[in-house]
Amino acid sequence: MGIMHERIEASMPVLEVKSLSVSYRTAAGPVCAVRDFSVELAAGESLAIVGETGSGKSTVALALMGLLPGTARVEADRLRFLGEALAPGDGRSWQRIRGRTMGMIFQDARGALNPVRTIGAQFSEVLRAHQRLSRKEARSRATALLTDVGIPQPPFTMRRYPLELSGGMCQRVGIAMAICHAPSLLIADEPTSALDPSIQAQVLEVLRRMKERQRLAMLLISHDLAMVAEVVERVAVLYHGRMVECGAAAAVFRKPAHPYTAALIACQADLRQRWEERRLIPVAGAPPASGQRFPGCAFAPRCPEAIPECSAAEPPLKRIEADHCAACIREVKGSGLEK
């Protein structure tokens, strides 16, 4: 069966990933970037993957898009998209779905655009790559999509080059291109990190509207927990390439069950407080180097609540509530941690 989302039953997950692992070949040997990552996403559902720089967030996104370099080795017990199994080493599988039923918004929207071609020329090329459209039809469709994402005067914008647009405008163009084929899955990698707060809010509203209108399954990669809390229903926290907590966003942010998640939340500014009252608590220490191995919990060297058992064996990801899992072996009274 071909990968056509119209043929997939409504009850079937859009994305199924079980035990995804990614490593890179280096002169010093293989370096593990992601270990044992699992997730399921249904139509209209959104999940955020959060963590510090180097935690493996973008590697997961690129692995799911089939965009990792040749030095990467991707393994998974199960990798299914719209009901069809995808082989990690089969580039043709991703070529059929990438841009059509699976769209991606890149962190550097301007950098993802060709600087020497107009927005209209690039948009028309993207549309005609998967749809039988005339140039006139493609331009008409591009104009409608740019209008949908809130770009004023789309015909004028289509005559401009990327360097003539603001960062927010380029990001909106990137969103329009990513959804132009009505994909079933949209992956957004740090879509607002380079934008000022007012433009961030506008871009997030566009993403929310598009997700609801098209019933997109959305995977959001971010380090901004405040932004994540406004956009997604579920969240997965990555540390050193491994998921250490996951669950409903409201539950995870209200009562974090892993000390790393609690530390990330403590780093976020509460904008409701007056400036002189805000107190940010940075995560102690520094993240481990890629490929560094630990006999137990990788966060133990930085964890203020660590006990000797934390370094003895790596804790498994355990369910602590109906839709809340964490990988921590001890209970810390008053901090929301549970076994």
Buried-state track 58-97, b at ≥16 Cβ within 10 A, e below 16:
bbbbbbbbbebeeebbbebeebbbbbeebebeeeebbebb
Integer angstrom CA distances of residue 313 from 215, 295, 296, 316: 41, 6, 4, 9
Does a structural domain hold residue 314? Answer: yes
Distance between CA atoms of residues 146 and 259, nearest Å: 43
How would you classify the pairing of strands 217-222 and 46-50? parallel
Does a structural domain hold residue 193? Answer: no
Structural domain containing residue 332 = 262-271+280-339
Encode pLDDT of 93-137 as tens digits: 788 888 789 999 988 888 889 999 999 999 999 999 888 889 999
* pLDDT, mean of residues 41-49: 94
Does a structural domain hold residue 292? Answer: yes
Residue 288 has pLDDT above 60, yes or no: yes
Buried-state track 204-235, b at ≥16 Cβ within 10 A, e below 16:
bebbeebbeeeebbbbbbbbbbebbbebbebb
Does a structural domain hold residue 146? Answer: no
The model's pTM is: 0.86
* pLDDT, mean of residues 138-159: 92
- The confidence score (pLDDT) of residue 2 equals 39
- pLDDT bracket for residue 332 (50, 70, 90): very low
Encode pLDDT of 191-240 as tens digits: 887 677 777 787 888 888 888 888 899 999 988 887 888 889 999 999 99
Q: What percent of the chain has pLDDT over 90?
A: 51
Does a structural domain hold residue 294? Answer: yes
Does a structural domain hold residue 210? Answer: no
Does a structural domain hold residue 150? Answer: no
Total structural domains in the chain? 1
